[in-house]
Structure 1
Amino acid sequence: MVAPLLAGCTTAEPEPRTPLVAGTGAPVIIPGGPGDAGRTARPGENLGESEARITAADVRFAEGMIPHHRQALEMAALVRPRSSSPVLWKLAERVTAAQRPEIAAMTSWLKSAGRAPAGYDGGGGPHGDHGDHAVTQEQENQLRTARGTDFDRLFLSLMIVHHEAAVTMAKQQIEDGTDRIMLAMAADVVSGQAIEITRMRRELLRLGG
């Protein structure tokens, strides 16, 4: 259990090791026996246990990133009904394809640590509070009422801010965290969302935003 960590980040009490699970990003190669070729781990395959102990920073990252990703999924779901831009369609598809599995992975990780996130059923739907995010409920409501090019510009502006907040959270995890799974996920967030920010800024500039 990681609950004792939440009372303070400086506790020296060792925490349980967490299982290492192959994800959907870069392939994980499992060495074969002597003279045998290695193989690629299957997504979701248990690879053993993490060598690092869970810290409060690791838990905060997962508990904060799940609702943050969930809000991104809700925003992405608005694109098809409101935009005619193939660029935004593809962007929304990439957001959904990347962040839904990450939500599931972080949810599984938290459950293994004894901290199932409240209000989340594992499917990526809008269950529970988003917490403290860069995009406010008022801004999200404005996005829901916008259409056409107005929607495109607002969506890109808000998603850029949203991605920038995720990158900040991930960089904090890289600085403070210790768990290998969460550190790898944070690195993926930094690299993947930085690329998307560049693409969105380029498209927003093209639209005159």
Structure 2
Amino acid sequence: MLASGLGTVLAGCTGDPPGERAPIVAGSDAPVIVPGAPGEEGRTATPGERVGREDSRPSAADVLFAERMIPHHRQALEMAGLAPARASEPRVRALCARITAAQRPEIDVMSRWLRALGRDVPAEHSGHAGDGSGEPDTYGMASLEEMNRLRAARGEEFDALLLRLMIRHHEGAVTMAGEELTGGTDRFLRAMAKDVAAGQRAEIVRMRALEN
């Protein structure tokens, strides 16, 4: 999956912090391909063109995306981790296993990206919406009350509540990914955002089908 691929690329770039790698200069040897904008095709760089440094320089939007998505993913893992002992529907348990398999590697990749930039990795999530009001936050994080209800639920009650909370949580992740694609400049984080948006939209469709 994309997360493991990004991890391999990041592991090979640990000698240079993101945004500080030397640019590639196109010449007469092998052609250098410049990636296009989202939805556009790439192009071949002209001889002498410097490629890579500015296109991959991290922006504040990139850092914010990683710092927000890591705790967001952690809460999803906490919710999914409750399913084996509480869910009555096998498809709900299978869904939660897929969420764990997808999001744990993404947390690892984003954490290594932040460390390579000299940034601290966010601490464990607070477990609820950040304003303390008990209301869901902008990105779909469950409130403390909702998490406690989920922990206490069993069987069909758990299934229904988990699906409701996880759909909202995924919608928040899609919103975050869209913000990264609008304002982010780092190619690794933009690729991650595309992967998150596509994967979580597909899971939202599956979860809505399970609600019916």
Among 126, 139, 147, the residue aligned to 1:129:
126
Contact residue 72 and residue 125 of structure 2 kept, 8 A: no
Please say if 1:199 is aligned against 2:188.
no
**Structure 1 range deviating more: 93-102 or 50-59:** 50-59
1:68 alignment partner in structure 2: 72
Distance in 2 between the 1:138 and 1:96 partners?
23
Q: Which amino acid aligns with 1:46?
A: G
1:116, distance to aligned residue in structure 2 (A): 1.7
1:96 alignment partner in structure 2: 100
Distance in 1 between the 2:209 and 2:3 partners?
30
1:171, distance to aligned residue in structure 2 (A): 0.4
Distance in 1 between the 2:87 and 2:125 partners?
27
Distance in 2 between the 1:128 and 1:65 partners?
10
Distance in 1 between the 2:205 and 2:125 partners?
31
Return closer, same or farther for 1:42/1:109 CA change in 2, 3 Å cut-off.
closer
Q: TM-score, normalised by structure 1?
A: 0.72
Distance in 1 between the 2:95 and 2:161 partners?
14
1:43, distance to aligned residue in structure 2 (A): 7.2
Please say if 1:141 is aligned against 2:107.
no
Listed one character per residue, the Cα deviations across residues 163-190 of structure 1 (whole Å, up to 9, x for unaligned) are 0000000001000000001000000011
1:4 alignment partner in structure 2: none
Q: Which amino acid aligns with 2:173?
A: A
Distance in 2 between the 1:117 and 1:42 partners?
19
Q: Which runs of 4+ in 1 moved over 4 A?
A: 41-45, 47-50
RMSD: 2.1
1:84, distance to aligned residue in structure 2 (A): 2.3
Secondary structure of 2:4's partner?
coil
Length, aligned pairs only: 163
Distance in 2 between the 1:158 and 1:54 partners?
32
1:44, distance to aligned residue in structure 2 (A): 6.0
Distance in 1 between the 2:63 and 2:163 partners?
30
Q: TM-score, normalised by structure 2?
A: 0.71
1:46 alignment partner in structure 2: 12
Structure label with greater radius of gyration:
2
Determine what percentage of the aligned residue pairs are the same residue. 48
Please say if 1:158 is aligned against 2:124.
no
